[in-house]
Structures are given as structure tokens and as C-alpha cells.
Amino acid sequence: MADANDKHLWAVSWDDFQALSVDERASYFMEGEREVHVILAQQFARNRLDALNSLATQVRFIAKSRAGMRFLRDLLSHKRAMLYFTQPSTRTFLSFSAACQILGMTTSSVRDSATSSEFKGESQEDSVRTFSSYFDVIIMRSAEKGLAERMAWVLSNSERAVPIVNAGSGKDQHPTQALLDIYTLQRSFERLGGIDGKHVAFVGDLARGRTVRSLASLLALYDGVKQTFVAPSPLQIGRDVLDFLTKAKVAFELTEDFERVIPKADAIYMTRVQDEWDKTKGESGLYDIRKFWFTAQRLSLLRPDAILMHPLPRRDEIEAAVDRDPRAMYWRQMRNGMWVRAALIAGIFHRDKEIQDYHEQNL
Ligand code: NCD
């Protein structure tokens, strides 16, 4: 529901908007409790996460039957989605595409700017405005930090203010991955008091991993969650995240001692080395990253009720033999992405109430 406190992107210049803090900017992407655009993890409040989690579960249950799928596929059968992914992606692209299909939307994609008119010198602004003429939502991934945010401002100041969903922006943000990570944590700890009070350890390349940055921010919305960042010092988490956690009074620790952390954690969030961002060739090869691998041998250190997560893709940081352990959650985490993204898109188009009603009446 819109209210008098809502801030509008069309009412602020780009220069003034950029000068605001991340929390202030985040508030512009919400209208009451609903997303106008999905750009920053900071735009989500705790009650919104709870609502999205239960909506994702409802969609998941409804989709189990043919009649349920017919209901879901009708919800947005009049809407079209554009997937604008100029950076490599497997899971995020496919799960968004599957989520759109679940809701009956048709999708189109541009996956390489060399195949679009950007190659002829068209600006990204003009490309996105073109997409907005044909589609009702633009889901975009880019190597450029802040591009999705700028495009949200551009479209909100155009005659077709369609929503932008950030599917990964540079090294900075991956809000929808953080939403599916939260959903996975919530489901895993359902019978253990939920996410509140849990200890989450992030491991690997935390300097360049956008999933970690977005999830660290969402976890700060839960009571008494402790966050530990396990990485070689050149790959440690950014100062801005630590400043944010300090301000939010979140307990955190930085360490290189992975073996000491494993038995204490409720969730271990592994990440790969993001060497595509190396400034000099072979730079990442200089870090001794093997200490931060989750080998099958290390399973014996993991608590019986703890879980192991990874946004994927993985390289060697989780040994394949670990996959057979019931605490390995990354394959389910990946599938959760489809349900959470379907719930998110349904919410953007105001279909949540219909889903809740159907769930109540039929399940
Ligand atoms: C991540 C990403 O793109 O940031 N992948 C994903 O979306 N599941 C993590 C990565 O690339 O390592």
C-alpha cells in the first residue's frame, strides 16, 4: 500500500540520489511494503522477508498439482519479462526464467551486448528504455556496479516505469540470491528456532563475492545472528560491510582459521575465488586458498544440525564427496531460488493475495 512516506525516484535528480546513503537510496525502491524495483538488499525489512518466505512456500506447494500449476500460470499470463544478462550466468538466469514460466509469463533475453544495438554504440540507457517498450519487467545482470540502480532511476523517470530486478551487479550486490539464501536458512532452521541467534560463517573470496555482501546485510535483520568471515586477508570482506554491521550492532569476527570455526557454525557459506576480477593476471593464484576448502574430511568437524551452503558455481572449494551428506544444502538452495524468485515477481505484480487465498482454500 502506498503511503505518504513513500519516496519517488521521479522526484529526485540522479546527482542528488547518488549522494544519499545506501539505506536512504534503498527506501526509494519500496512503495509501502512492496518492491517497485529490486535493487539493493538494504531495501528489505524483516517482515517483508517473512512474507516473501511464506509466499515462496505457498507457490512451491501449489505448483505440485496440475490444477495448481494452471492457477499459477494464469496469474501473469498477460505479462512479459526481459532477461538482460550481459555477464555469465547459469542458475540465476534459468531460475528467473523458470520462475517467470511458473507464473505464465513469456520471456526474452539478451545475453551478450555484442548481439544487441549496444554494439552499434547505443547507450545502456537507450537499450533499457527499448526493453521497457516491449516488456513489463526487466531482470538484469551486469559486471558494472550500480548499473541496475541507475537503470531503475532512468525508467522511473520515463513514460514506461517498468520494474528493474537486479540479478547481480558487479562485485557489489546480488539481492535475489540473498533472498533465496535467507529462505534456505529459514527452511533449514524451521524446527530449530529459525534464523535468530544462529552463527553464519562466510568462507572464501569475500572481497569480491556479491552474494556474501548482500546476505550479510539481510542477516543483520535477525536477532542475535553472529557472522564470521573466514578468508585470506587480501580476500576479506569489505570495510563498508563491517562498518554497516558495527552500526547495526551485529557480532562479527574475521579469521583465517577455518578449522576452528567449523564446529561453532550453524551455517557455513562457501564461495569460489572470483578471479575474473583480478587486476593482474594470475593474482588469485598467489593466495593459499586450500586452507579454506571444505573437504570430505572436514565433515566430521561440522555439527550434526549445521548446514553447508554455496551460491554456486563451485570449483574445488567443496569436494564432490561432500554432496552426499544430508547437511550439504547447496542443491536445494539452488532450487529454492526458483520459488523465491517466483514469489518476488508475483509480489511485484500484486498477486500475493490471490496466491495466499488459493493456498488457503485448496491446500
Ligand atoms: C554467484 C554470482 O554470480 O554472484 N552466482 C550465482 O548467482 N549463483 C556467485 C559466483 O559467481 O561465484
Helix (H) or strand (E) holding 334: helix 330-348
Coil, helix or strand at residue 245: helix
| Mean per-residue pLDDT of the chain | 96
Per-residue pLDDT tens digits for 154-205: 999 999 999 999 999 999 999 999 999 999 999 999 999 999 999 999 999 9
- Cα–Cα distance measured from residue 347 to residue 353, given in angstroms and rounded to the nearest whole number: 9
Cell of 269: 557459506
Percent of the chain with pLDDT over 90: 94
Of 141, 177, 335, the one to substitute when testing ligand 1's pocket (max ligand atoms within 8 A of C-beta) is: 177
Counting atoms of ligand 1 from 1, which one is nearest the CA of 337?
8
Give me ligand 1 centre to Cα 311, in Å: 6
DSSP H/E element including 265: none
- Characterize the bridge pairing of strands 267-270 and 199-203: parallel
Each residue's pLDDT tens digit, 235-291: 999 999 999 999 999 999 999 999 999 999 999 999 999 999 999 999 999 898 999
- Which atom of ligand 1 is closest in space to residue 209's alpha carbon? 4
CA 312 to ligand 1: nearest atom: 8
**What are the angstrom distances between the C-alpha of 68 and each of 72, 79, 100, 335?**
6, 19, 15, 19
Residue 95 CA, ligand 1 centroid: distance in Å = 13
SS3 (DSSP) at 206: coil
User: Residue 153: which pLDDT band, with cuts at 50, 70 and 90?
Assistant: very high
pLDDT tens digits along 194-250: 999 999 999 999 999 999 999 999 999 999 999 999 999 999 999 999 999 999 999
End-to-end CA distance of the chain: 27
pLDDT attached to residue 2: 55
| Residue located nearest, by CA, to atom 1 of ligand 1 | 311
Does the predicted model carry a pTM greater than 0.95? yes
Sign of the dihedral through C-alpha 206, 208, 210, 216: positive
Three cell numbers written together for 248: 547495526
Domains of the chain: residue spans and CATH: 9-173+336-353 (3.40.50.1370), 175-334 (3.40.50.1370)
Which strand (E) or helix (H) includes residue 163?
Answer: none
Asked whether the beta carbons of 267 and 201 are under 8 A apart, the reply is: yes
Q: What's the pLDDT at 261?
A: 98
Q: What pLDDT is recorded for position 116?
A: 83
d(CA 4, CA 39): 22
Q: State the sign of the Cα–Cα–Cα–Cα dihedral 52, 218, 204, 194.
A: negative
Query: How sure is the predictor about 50, in pLDDT bands with cuts at 50, 70 and 90?
Result: very high
